[in-house]
Structure 1
């Protein structure tokens, strides 16, 4: 199959995704690949709010800044990895998610872990993106 754009699919013989993601994201052979470091919930001064939801907001603001720096947007994101040290408020996260994505979701992995790089970090989100 020769594709010239990023495509996202869910195989018919699998259960539907349990969240806002797609099972398969395919990129064309000639795409330029971008991989971000994990974005965290620090504000512009490098300070971390105490609540996870405030860190989620900061993380998405940082993601938008990183994407804009390379002239990328949600349509270019092919994979998202999320790590959190405490239970995620999914309604809140998906509200922030919805400001970045419409309904054409990338592939995604989520993991709960005991700690991230610094004790005050509660969430980290890594992106993979491609530009055709």
Structure 2
């Protein structure tokens, strides 16, 4: 059955997600695909704060801005890749996550690395979106 909307599913034959994500997202045929560069915690003045949670907050602001530039909303996000150089405060991350997604979660991957593009960057989030 073909639908003209993005659908998300957690198959019943799999363990439930261990976080705020969905196991599989289906994109309908003829949807426009958008892939962002990794968004970082830089603020509007070009400054990268030292604090990881401030970087997370700025990163979500930047995600909203890049989505708005193409008239996209959080519901169009199909995949999120999160890269971090230090332990993520998941309570804080999920508070920002919840403000963006509510309970309609995209697929997600998280990776910890020793370094990102600049030494002061502690978190980078890449977004994949589809417009139907």
Q: Same fold (TM over 0.5)?
A: yes
Once superposed, what is the RMSD of the aligned Cα atoms?
0.6
What per-residue deviation string (whole Å, max 9, x for no partner) do you get for residues 57-113 of structure 1? 000000000011110011100000000000000000000111100111000000000
Distance 2:45 2:114 in 1: 25
Q: CA deviation at 1:3?
A: 2.1
Q: Which runs of 4+ in 1 moved over 2 A?
A: none
Distance 2:6 2:30 in 1: 11
**Residue aligning to 1:125:** 125
In the TM superposition, what are the counterparts of 1:6-21 in structure 2 within 5 Å?
Answer: 6-21=6-21
**Residue aligning to 2:30:** 30
- TM, length-normalised to structure 2: 0.98
Gaps (5+ residues) in structure 2? none
Gaps (5+ residues) in structure 1? none
What SS class does the counterpart of residue 45 from structure 1 fall into?
coil
Residue 72 (structure 2) pairs with residue 53 (structure 1): no
Distance 2:35 2:60 in 1: 16
